[in-house]
Amino acid sequence: MSESIQVPCPFCWQANDIWFDPEEVGNVIVQDCSTCCQPIDVKLSIDHLDQLVAVADHPDD
């Protein structure tokens, strides 16, 4: 079953619902921004409070 988390696009800063499968935590998933269509690299991980965190990587950094 898929879940979603909101991540701001690193290009246009619009919030996107990123859909992922729980098995993908720890991986980087790529989803196109619904506003500017740029591919967003989202790194999914679990923090020290067992909370899911999603960080958008800017490819030019």
Instruction: Name the site residues for Zn ion (rule: CB under 5 A).
Output: 9, 11-12, 33, 35-36
CB of 26 to Zn ion, least distance (A): 24
Residue 22 or 32 with smaller CB distance to Zn ion: 32
CA-wise closest residue to 25 among 42, 40, 10: 42
Residue 12 or 28 with smaller CB distance to Zn ion: 12
Residue 44 or 56 with smaller CB distance to Zn ion: 56
CA-wise closest residue to 22 among 39, 45, 40, 38: 45
